[in-house]
Amino acid sequence: MGLSMKRIGSLADLEPFPAAITPANWTALIPAAGRGTRLDHPGPKVLFPVLGRPLIEWMIELLRPYCARFVVVLAPTEREVVAPAIARLLPSDAYRIALQHAPNGMADAIDQARDLVATPHVLVTWGDQITLRPETVARCMRAHEHRPGALLTLPTLVRPEPYIHFQRDADDRLVAVLQAREGEIDQPVGESDAGLFLFATSTLFSLLREARQNFAPGRATREFNLLPLLPLFELGPGSVMSLRILDDEETLGVNTRAEGDRAAAILRRRGEPV
């Protein structure tokens, strides 16, 4: 089976795909409506500073070389303080702000951008995934943009004590995504995501519409979340591809002060500008 038809590939093995990425084909969609409560931060989470720069700045700088347009999803009460930070980084015609009026989950947040994404592909990433490597982003985008029939592409990592676990069948088809916060994981090792998801735009929003009608919310959180919906994209060979990464640093989300300190140490070690 060629790489373009495999369900699990390697970031180091992308020769079948052209190197070029066309930014005009991509919108970066960043759900960023959360508060900084666990960070002991008084304002919106995406304004929490790491090495003197807010999370949203790190995310935009990471994605700007690859995505011509941005949509940032905010809570209505956060728009006034977050929008100026975005405007300092992007021209007015390159971004839009969507509003999530209640904290009903990540799938709900993404769905608020339905009418603001016009590109054929959309990159979804959480607003705190600042330790993703640019080369990981670029390689996943290559595999998605140049793979016939691609509906979903994402990096994953096999790790102990997983917070997320991807269940697969004998053919590596994704059949379920389990979440520790929903009380669903009991295995010591699992396959987890890195908070980066590349979608075919039309399929993403059509499946979100369908799922909102047919899927029950999480048992513990009562939220409409994205991860349990990922198996819906398994619509044929090559429709879903996971590209394995080896470095758990790339999966770090900044939810606590300790995680902020760890992210700062990672970025400083890589020589990121501050």
Tell me the average pLDDT across 88-102: 95
Cα 204 to Cα 120: distance, rounded to the nearest angstrom:
11
Give me the residue spans of the domains in the chain. Answer: 3-269
Cα-based distances in Å from 58 to 46, 100, 238, 247, 259: 10, 22, 31, 19, 15
The pLDDT tens digits of the residues spanning 45-56 come to 999 999 999 999
Give the integer Cα–Cα distance in Å for 135 and 206: 30
Nearest to 192 by CA among 237, 157, 220: 157
Q: What is the pLDDT of residue 197?
A: 98
Identify the pLDDT of residue 182. 76
Confidence of residue 238 (pLDDT cuts 50, 70, 90): confident
The predicted structure's pLDDT at residue 162: 79
H-helix or E-strand spanning residue 206? helix 201-214
**3-269 to CATH, choices 1.10.10.60, 3.40.50.2300, 3.20.20.450, 3.90.550.10:** 3.90.550.10
What pLDDT digit, counting tens, does each position of 252-266 carry? 999 999 999 999 999
Return the pLDDT at 214: 78
Question: Per-residue pLDDT averaged across 43-68, rounded?
Answer: 95
This prediction has a pTM of 0.93
Please state, in angstroms and rounded to a whole number, the distance separating the CA atoms of residues 235 and 240: 8
Taking the C-alpha atoms of residue 71 and residue 211, their distance in angstroms, rounded to an integer, is: 22
Q: What pLDDT is recorded for position 16? A: 64
Q: Which helix (H) or strand (E) holds 81?
A: helix 79-87
Let me know how long the chain is: 274
For 180-225, the pLDDT digits (tens) are: 877 787 888 889 999 999 999 999 999 999 988 877 665 656 678 8
Distances (CA, A) of 105 to 52, 113, 152, 241: 29, 14, 20, 24
Average pLDDT over residues 3-10: 79
Amino acid of residue 26: W
**Both tokens of residue 162?**
């997983």
- Alpha carbon distance, N-terminus to C-terminus of the chain: 44
Q: How far apart are CA 173 and CA 166, in angstroms?
A: 10
Q: What is the DSSP letter of 216?
A: P
Q: Check residue 219 and give its pLDDT.
A: 63
Q: Is 125 exposed, middle or buried (0-12, 13-18, 19+ CB in 10 A)?
A: buried
Residue 168 reports pLDDT greater than 90: yes
**Model confidence over 155-167: pLDDT tens digits?**
999 988 878 899 9
